[in-house]
A and B are shown apart, each in its own frame.
Chain A
């Protein structure tokens, strides 16, 4: 196990070195944020911002398609499409749960796939949830995190979106094992991948306006949210709470000013 961890750590380092080369070539092209202090987790901010801009550009094409799908498809159809791809993903979730030693969750996920693929007609109906088998979401990046691989620098990729170095490696494994991307029939593979992308984008539509309005700088907001979210996922929703920074426990404003405002 520790050998494996070592290898993967090494792999992550190697891949970040490779990514660095890519990143540096991007950096020279756009050194806009050089005057600002760098976030230690985001050393390739210049490159990432450029890729973020590319992605925003792509979204001008993908978003309208997703909006059209969201408006035109009746809810049962959307649910069925989401369930179908969700069921395929559940196989991988099950395996990752087992790889992380979470047997109970893993076997529950195996149960989900068995039930939904049969009674749920190829995953179109999520019967398992109604039976009380809750849906989980695990990927190889999380498994690596559980195994102790540190997350490495933050990257923003076109289409794929935000990933740390570790999660980029994890994503590569996710894609390698993905049944849809391994289909031999190219037209079927492409239309399935396309539908999946549109379904995924449509699912994110409600958050668009929230992020747009909440963020001062969309790039930073998404990056910090991603890093928080991944941290929470790796701790399975129970990350250690950050200590309260130098903060008086009293809540009254006048009280605050007595204790701290004076200096």
Chain B
């Protein structure tokens, strides 16, 4: 008896997700990811009370797959990136991913009822590398610009840089990384990142 409406509903759901996948412009993509994450944070008292561990779990599930960490690491390293072997690149991207995800998760725990305004992104022709602009609105304070640099990969968009108030969380490391490479080489940088991650892992709450 109830099969028909259920089936129709399922069909509707399927077709809408297909539509979503096809029409995903970069701003829609960023909006979907952000709202999905925020809907979890809004209901999770543990994250709001500063549980980094829970925030990391959320980030690993919902956020991580939307990033391109190779490109992120390349951006942080600048010219030095091309000096790394494929194996080194893999390790660098892995360690940098762990570090950035921690920063991102930490930021989520300071969420307090802010809302996000999404600014429309217009693509020129078949542009495949754009910045999507959003703003974190908090009453009584100046809105905080939060921008994402995204690149098209097949049919999907992937984030490769996050800018808070114009500060790139990625290129902010460039000087530190290049200094380390000059002193201790690429392997020195890998070790530096790995040590930092281990140290943060120990202090995890």
Interface residues of A (CB under 8 A from B): 36-37, 39, 79, 82-83, 86, 126, 129-130, 134-137, 203, 206, 209-210, 213-214, 216-217, 220-221, 224-225, 228-229, 231-233, 237, 239, 241-242, 244-247, 249, 251, 253-254, 256-257, 260-261, 263
Contacts and interface: CB of A to CB of B under 8 A. Distances in A.
A37 B179 CA distance: 8
B17 interface: no
B151 A251 contact: yes
A229 B166 contact: yes
Contacts of B172: 221, 224-225, 228
A37 B182 contact: yes
Given A135-B141, A136-B142, A229 B167 contact: yes
Contact of B139 (A129, A239, A256, A257): A129
B58 interface: no
Given A228-B166, A251-B151, A253-B89, A86 B81 contact: no
B142 A137 contact: yes
B175 interface: yes
Given A257-B86, A257-B89, A86 B140 contact: yes
Nearest to B183: A36
Nearest to B158: A251
Nearest to A203: B141
Interface stretch (B7-15, B26-34, B101-109): B101-109
A39 B175 contact: yes
B185 interface: no
B176 A246 contact: no
A216 B74 contact: no
Given A224-B175, A247-B74, A237 B84 contact: no
Given A229-B167, A247-B74, A214 B99 contact: yes
A86 B141 contact: yes
B165 to A, nearest CB: 5
Interface string B139-150: 111110100000
B123 interface: no
B175 A220 contact: yes
Contacts of A254: 86
A156 B27 CA distance: 38
Given A232-B167, A257-B89, A83 B140 contact: yes
26 contacts: A37-B182, A130-B139, A203-B141, A209-B106, A210-B103, A210-B110, A213-B103, A214-B99, A214-B169, A228-B168, A228-B172, A229-B167, A233-B166, A237-B133, A241-B131, A242-B171, A245-B79, A246-B79, A246-B82, A249-B129, A251-B71, A251-B151, A256-B86, A257-B86, A257-B89, A260-B81
Nearest to B154: A251
A256 B89 contact: yes
- Mostly, the A contact residues are helix
Contacts of B81: 245, 247, 260
Contacts of B85: 257, 261
Nearest to A226: B167
Contacts of A247: 71, 74-75, 81
Contact of B167 (A209, A228, A256, A260): A228
A229 B165 contact: yes
A36 B141 CA distance: 39
A36 B82 CA distance: 23
Given A36-B179, A261-B89, A256 B70 contact: yes
A261 B86 contact: yes
A86 B78 CA distance: 39
B103 A251 contact: no
Contacts of A79: 139-140
A251 B142 contact: no
Nearest to B149: A241
B68 A251 contact: yes
Interface string B170-205: 011111100100100000000010001000100000
